[in-house]
Amino acid sequence: MTQEITFIQREQLKAKPDPASLGFGKYFTDYMFVMDYHTDNGWHNARIVPYGPLTLDPSSMVFHYGQAIFEGMKAYKTPDGEVQLFRPDKNMKRLNDSCDRLCIPQIDGEFLLKAIKQLVTVEKDWVPEGAGQSLYIRPFIYASEAGLGVHPAHQYTLLVIMSPSGAYYGDQLNPVNIYVEEHYVRAVLGGVGHVKTSGNYAASLKAQEKAEANGYAQILWLDAKENKYVEEVGSMNIFFKINGEVVTPKLNGSILPGVTRDSVIQILKHWGEPVREERISIEEVFAAYERGELEEVFGAGTAAVISPVGELTWNGKTIVINDRKIGQTSQRLYDGITGIQLGKLEDPFNWTVKVSAVEV
Amino acid sequence: MTQEITFIQREQLKAKPDPASLGFGKYFTDYMFVMDYHTDNGWHNARIVPYGPLTLDPSSMVFHYGQAIFEGMKAYKTPDGEVQLFRPDKNMKRLNDSCDRLCIPQIDGEFLLKAIKQLVTVEKDWVPEGAGQSLYIRPFIYASEAGLGVHPAHQYTLLVIMSPSGAYYGDQLNPVNIYVEEHYVRAVLGGVGHVKTSGNYAASLKAQEKAEANGYAQILWLDAKENKYVEEVGSMNIFFKINGEVVTPKLNGSILPGVTRDSVIQILKHWGEPVREERISIEEVFAAYERGELEEVFGAGTAAVISPVGELTWNGKTIVINDRKIGQTSQRLYDGITGIQLGKLEDPFNWTVKVSAVEV
């Protein structure tokens, strides 16, 4: 798959949006990367083309049978004006894990990363520089074959689109209120919860809507078998600091293995802070609160990086965490991870990858 | 929502496909029905237009978050040349149940049914007349809003496309081999298994692919919590005839409530045949076989109508059902249901709905 990447220039560049009102995933850059797949000739026709509409037959399988996966990653501008990615190899790996589970042909991760670097290089003026801002990168693949038979498609389209974005929950670290969902579930062992496929998000909307209607920002999902063990929060993994130790649910086949989750674990170990991955029940979390040992709760994900939790409501009972203030560990992790992402702190893990060296 | 339906005529009609090679969902008729939704003005712009490609922004939510649902129904040509639908009210009801679970705005089922009748009337020459053939009707709705925030979309498109189709498994009732899946699962209580959303089908492909590679036509899904109780087969509900009694898994919140499933139950009751809906374990099915009491196994669904099962493989053990022959009850149900659908038998249930009376 070491193919050439065609570049089709657009006649006129878009006006850039006001940096103060970026929001998340609302504006898109001038170009996108596209590549096609057909069982007859594999992935082919790699190209960077003007961002614009897609044309699909109404019977295209993505509309009917949801064979669609995606990744989420970001490009950051460093203080010296360079642009860099954060652990993009993890996204390429997970994209292929998603492909495997959804019967989508594998991608050459190195080639796609090269394509992403080229695209980001072309669009380097779109990488915003404000606090908490970055260029959000969304690779995705969908089944483009026309026809209503239920089977893995023979034809796919891969795209990478990019959106200059602000912080997911606004520009400040603001502790959020979270509702522990007991009726709806997100995923179950043997299903698709451990990969980034579109159906997981569709299935989560109903509970999310209910939570928001009741004043909560996010849902905490419990396991589907016993409605007992903590899995993850809306679009993030979840961490609890209990009696000086950080604990997060162990990857169990239904939890998404987040890149930020892994980074939190590694950075805590690097700092010599105790951190454990294990099965943890919601009862244990509430019991720790009762003992006065629940010091912090926070989510971790690409979009929000670190998101402190101020309140947790389960089974009619609400507990207030750390007096609704940002915890010391949450803040230190946010500063540490974003510091590395933005090139403001040393990167002892070799997590960042410069894109500016790539020729177009 | 009592709106007008605009009709845009195409300049030239397509050539009809060879009736002998229809297959399933491969050819599409000349026209499609389309309707748009926006939170600002509800469902609007109902129109019958030439079948043709859709244009979507690459950030359209359907590609990323899978907010998409569908229905499957058929139009049949009767011996006197009339065209009729089978229990379309059930499809309209289930479409709205799917809307509800996926946070998609409700549809006026009566209006949509009227639109489908108009579309079928326009396309009445596309309703095939061969044995086991019908005009397959596929209503579907997807989130068309552009943007990457995860929330229920504010903008949707509803389409109805139609495909002249042969019998799903060929023109004869052929007993199929089925593999009882123990690793992958289809759905779990609290999830979306009871509605027709695209993600359910994407999630099923991996197990289906594995089963086909091993020579099986379909998968029998077990429950996700205990991997013990029978749920459904690939694209059908499942029935067992044990010691003269027909039994099918009780609807439990993760099984799709099939229209054909309901029709089988009602018609058996009408005939005075014993039929029960109850939780049934795969052990019980195999134990019934050991006792010599497992007389028939068959699937029931819109696409295949009735599909006899010839072999069932679970946990390394294969049982042959009714000597791989079509069972008496399977055949009688197939003849009874298709007889009503095709207008060849009396319809004591008022299940069929003529479309020919509709003016366009």
CA-to-CA distance for A174 and A172, rounded, in angstroms? Answer: 6
Best residue of A141, A150, A221 to probe chain B, by most B CBs closer than 10 Å:
A150
pLDDT tens digit string along A238-294?
999 999 999 999 999 999 999 999 999 999 999 999 999 999 999 999 999 999 999
- Looking at the complex, report in whole angstroms how far the Cα of residue A96 sits from the nearest Cα belonging to chain B: 14
C-beta atoms of B205 and A138 within 8 A: no
**Confidence band of B304 (pLDDT split at 50, 70, 90):** confident
- Looking at the complex, report in whole angstroms how far the Cα of residue B201 sits from the nearest Cα belonging to chain A: 5
Does residue B21 share a domain with residue B102? Answer: yes
Q: Considering the domain boundaries, does residue B317 fall inside one? A: yes
C-beta atoms of A205 and B102 within 8 A: yes
Does residue A114 share a domain with residue A34? Answer: yes
Q: Considering the domain boundaries, does residue B333 fall inside one? A: no
pLDDT at B11: 94
Q: Considering the domain boundaries, does residue B332 fall inside one? A: no
Does residue A208 share a domain with residue A154? Answer: no
- Looking at the complex, report in whole angstroms how far the Cα of residue A225 sits from the nearest Cα belonging to chain B: 5
CA-to-CA distance for A207 and B33, rounded, in angstroms? Answer: 31
**Confidence band of B131 (pLDDT split at 50, 70, 90):** confident
Does residue B309 share a domain with residue B286? Answer: yes
Q: Which phi-psi region, left, alpha or beta, contains residue B322 (left: φ > 0; alpha: ψ -120 to 50)? A: left
**Confidence band of B235 (pLDDT split at 50, 70, 90):** confident
Burial class, B323, CB count within 10 angstroms (exposed 0-12 / middle 13-18 / buried 19+): exposed
The interface predicted TM-score (ipTM) is 0.96
Residue partners of B99: CB distance under 8 A and separation at least 6: B69, B105, B106, B107, B141
Does residue B289 share a domain with residue B183? Answer: yes
Q: Considering the domain boundaries, does residue B340 fall inside one? A: no
Average pLDDT, chain A: 95
Residues in chain B with CB shorter than 8 Å from the CB of A224 are 188-191, 224-225
CA-to-CA distance for B198 and B61, rounded, in angstroms? Answer: 13
Q: Considering the domain boundaries, does residue A332 fall inside one? A: no
Question: Which CATH number covers residue B104?
Answer: 3.30.470.10
Does residue B46 share a domain with residue B160? Answer: yes
Query: Positive or negative CA dihedral for A13, A19, A21, A22?
Result: positive
Q: Apex CA A143: angle with CA A142 and CA A145, to 5°? A: 145
Tokens of A289: 């609160």
CA-to-CA distance for A73 and B104, rounded, in angstroms? Answer: 28
Question: Which CATH number covers residue B262?
Answer: 3.20.10.10
Pairing state of beta strands B68-70 and B134-143? antiparallel
- Looking at the complex, report in whole angstroms how far the Cα of residue A188 sits from the nearest Cα belonging to chain B: 7
Q: Considering the domain boundaries, does residue A157 fall inside one? A: yes
C-beta atoms of B203 and A197 within 8 A: yes
Burial class, A111, CB count within 10 angstroms (exposed 0-12 / middle 13-18 / buried 19+): middle
CA-to-CA distance for B95 and B88, rounded, in angstroms? Answer: 11
Pairing state of beta strands A352-354 and A83-86? antiparallel
Q: Which of B23, B197, B225 shows the shortest C-beta gap to A199?
A: B197
Whether the pLDDT of residue B360 is over 60: the answer is: no
- Looking at the complex, report in whole angstroms how far the Cα of residue A200 sits from the nearest Cα belonging to chain B: 7
pLDDT tens digit string along A7-30?
999 999 999 999 999 999 999 999
Does residue A183 share a domain with residue A157? Answer: no
C-beta atoms of B201 and A32 within 8 A: no
Q: A130-162 burial string, b = 16+ CB within 10 Å, else e?
A: eebbbbbbbbbbbbbbbbbbbbbbebbbbbbbb
Q: What is the dihedral of CA B281, B282, B287, B290, to 10 degrees?
A: 160
Q: At what angle do helices B259-270 and B328-341 cross, to 10 degrees?
A: 110
Q: Which one of A166, A187, A208 terminates a domain?
A: A166
Q: Average pLDDT for residues A46-69, to the nearest whole number?
A: 98
Does residue B139 share a domain with residue B78? Answer: yes
In total, the C-beta contacts within 8 angstroms joining chain A to chain B are: 220
Does residue B243 share a domain with residue B287? Answer: yes
Q: Which one of A121, A143, A166 terminates a domain?
A: A166
- Asked if residues B348 and B270 have their Cβ atoms less than 8 Å apart, the reply is yes
Range of the domain at A15: 6-166
Q: Which one of B137, B166, B195 terminates a domain?
A: B166
Whether the pLDDT of residue A3 is over 90: the answer is: no
Q: Average pLDDT for residues A304-325, to the nearest whole number?
A: 96
C-beta atoms of A54 and B59 within 8 A: no
Q: Considering the domain boundaries, does residue A358 fall inside one? A: no
C-beta atoms of B201 and A234 within 8 A: no
Average pLDDT, chain B: 95
Tokens of A20: 């103060």
Best residue of B14, B99, B150 to probe chain A, by most A CBs closer than 10 Å:
B150
Quick one: which H or E segment has residue A49?
A: strand A42-50
Does residue A272 share a domain with residue A294? Answer: yes
Residues in chain A with CB shorter than 8 Å from the CB of B191 are 184-185, 187-188, 191, 203, 224
Q: Residue A59's closest chain B neighbor by CA?
A: B161
**Confidence band of B357 (pLDDT split at 50, 70, 90):** low
Tell me the helix, strand and coil percentages in chain A, rounded to 5.
25, 30, 45
Q: From the CB of residue B52, how many other CB atoms can be counted at a distance below 10 Å?
A: 14
Whether the pLDDT of residue A173 is over 90: the answer is: no
pLDDT at B170: 61
- Looking at the complex, report in whole angstroms how far the Cα of residue A287 sits from the nearest Cα belonging to chain B: 26
Distances (CA, A) of B76 to A264, A272, A355, B16, B353: 60, 71, 59, 17, 10
pLDDT tens digit string along B329-349?
999 999 999 999 999 999 999
Best residue of B27, B39, B65, B106 to probe chain A, by most A CBs closer than 10 Å:
B65
Q: Considering the domain boundaries, does residue A245 fall inside one? A: yes
pLDDT tens digit string along A88-124?
999 999 999 999 999 999 999 999 999 999 999 999 9
Residues in chain A with CB shorter than 8 Å from the CB of B203 are 66, 191-192, 197, 199
Q: From the CB of residue B206, how many other CB atoms can be counted at a distance below 10 Å?
A: 18
CA-to-CA distance for A31 and A24, rounded, in angstroms? Answer: 18
Residue B275, strand partner residues: B246
**Confidence band of A42 (pLDDT split at 50, 70, 90):** very high
- Asked if residues A254 and B184 have their Cβ atoms less than 8 Å apart, the reply is no
C-beta atoms of A192 and B203 within 8 A: yes
* CA neighbor of A98 nearest in space, from A201, A206, A185, A224: A201
Does residue A218 share a domain with residue A140? Answer: no
Distances (CA, A) of B19 to A34, B22, B27, B134, B172: 38, 6, 11, 11, 16
**Confidence band of B2 (pLDDT split at 50, 70, 90):** low
Looking at the structure of chain A, the number of domains it has is 2
Does residue B150 share a domain with residue B16? Answer: yes
